[in-house]
A and B are shown apart, each in its own frame.
Chain A
Amino acid sequence: MTVDTKDIYKIAAHHRFQWEKAQDCYVILFPEGMVKLNGSAGEVLNLVNGESTVELITDTLSKKFSDAPNIAKDIEGMIELALDKSWIEKVN
């Protein structure tokens, strides 16, 4: 699935995204499963809120991590992976 910068996504139905203090990371919870997200995946999904476009998410993270090269590509890749795993779904 290709991701467009104007796309808006939200956490998929029956899934929950939350910060886990004990694990010190973001996780996705769903029936029979739990995925621990690494730092960058967590940062991206934390901004997937059913309102922000991919473009806005990229802008936000580019400012936050100004020394990271190719961040737009990484973000797209992360969103593609999350879509493929059915953790998120398209809103618009």
Chain B
Amino acid sequence: MEIDKKNNGVSASTTATQPLWLLAEITYQCPLQCAFCYNPTDFDKHTQNELDTNSWIKVLRQARDLGAAQLGISGGEPLLRKDIEEIVTEASSLGYYSNLITSGAGMNEKRIDALKDGGLDHIQLSMHDITEEINNFITNTKTFKLKQKVAAMIKDRGYPMVLNVVMHRYNIDHIQEILEMAEGLGADYIELANTQYYGWSLVNRDQLMPKKEQVENALKVTNKFRERPGNKMKIFFVVPDYFDNRPKKCMNGWGEVFMIVTANGDVLPCHSARVIPNLEFPNVNDSPLKGAWYDSPAFNKFRGDDWMQEPCKSCSEKENDLGGCRCQALLLTGNAEGADPVCSKSPDRHIIDQAIKDSQNPGVEAKPIIFRTNANSKKIENGDEKDRLAKFHATP
């Protein structure tokens, strides 16, 4: 059985499987302010109670005992933590295949060497565009040259390099040049991840969403690039579900493979699960991971298909996508147990169609993007952006 987060290689079961993938969202602080960040808009309130080094080491040991073998160290920007080297060293000795997911900010010669010595297996670097202008615009920071420099450093140290490019209307037409740049930098893998609309990217959805023709063209260009003779770079193209008529099999199924531990120790089955109301997620400060994974009501809530409503319940395709994304269903329809509205069989598909229409309105670019900053996080938390959010979020 092949477990790959890019395909649907894992089938659903009603009995809990073992977690294979641990994502440690080690800090929500980040020097970049990307408009498409999937982190929660209320991240600022979680920045005061980050887990300390010893707690993370405990998390690594417990998850490894449960079966996790892939480890992603993410954020925010994980390099803002001074103890990443220590955490990586522990992960390596436990037998994880470890991945640092970084914007490059905070990386330097000394740290990249220390991480190598500690046993870090690979590095995923975010890239935004071939132009300095778009890079700096979408991240709201001057980070273009930094990323080029860090990419060279990663290759120089012999790490496998994964470049992650979140695609949106400002860079999607540059896909050929982005692929050429990635190849030139020696990337082993590139993920062309069309923006999925959660957290900050949902707030900025109108400003980010490309046209359908742009997406189709991007896919065509990507396939052509991939099929060139001698192509060595592995290319993942993450399709934007809004333009599809079936939802994605989110996280390969709720509580099936992935376990996320957030900066403050919450244990989640997916990045944005905390948007679902009336679900209490376990926290590593209170309960061991084993209980969180196997026994917590939150992790069991959407396992298997007993929870499904129509049209999913009797759908012949339910095994393919398990009804799609619970968070998207909640955010857009107000019902976490309903079909993901992306599905053409969902009675709520019109919400997606309307969103696509709204984003094509020539007036939307005039509205300012709300960048991912602590100040904006506080503002949203205080209700200052209520009107704008009401447009996106269903009221449960």
Contacts and interface: CB of A to CB of B under 8 A. Distances in A.
B65 A22 contact: yes
Interface of A: 13-14, 16, 18, 20, 22-23, 27, 29-36
14 contacts: A14-B122, A20-B67, A20-B69, A22-B18, A23-B67, A23-B69, A29-B69, A29-B70, A30-B97, A31-B160, A31-B189, A32-B189, A32-B191, A34-B20
Interface stretch (B3-11, B27-35, B142-150, B270-278): B3-11
A33 B1 CA distance: 12
Contacts of A35: 1-3
B188 interface: yes
Q: Give chain A's interface secondary structure class.
A: strand
- What size tier do the contact residues of chain B reach? 20 to 34
B192 to A, nearest CB: 13
Given A29-B70, A31-B121, A34-B21, 6 more contacts: A14-B160, A29-B97, A31-B99, A31-B189, A32-B99, A32-B189
B97 A16 contact: yes
A27 B162 contact: no
Given A20-B69, A22-B65, A34 B3 contact: yes
Contacts of A31: 99, 121-122, 124, 160, 162, 188-189
Interface in B139-175: 160, 162
Interface string B63-81: 0011101100000000000
B95 interface: yes
Nearest to A13: B160
A54 to B, nearest CB: 24
Given A22-B18, A30-B97, A31-B160, A36 B3 contact: yes
Nearest to B20: A34
B69 A33 contact: no
Contacts of A36: 1-3
A27 B69 contact: yes
A1 to B, nearest CB: 16
Nearest to A86: B234
Contacts of B160: 13-14, 30-31
Contacts of A13: 160
Contacts of A30: 97, 160
Interface in B370-396: none
Contacts of A22: 18, 65-67
Interface in B82-98: 95, 97
B236 interface: yes
A30 B160 CA distance: 9
Contacts of B5: 32-33
Contacts of A23: 18, 67, 69
Ordered nearest first, which 9 A-B pairs have the shortest CB separation? A22-B67, A29-B97, A14-B160, A31-B122, A33-B4, A31-B160, A34-B3, A35-B2, A36-B1
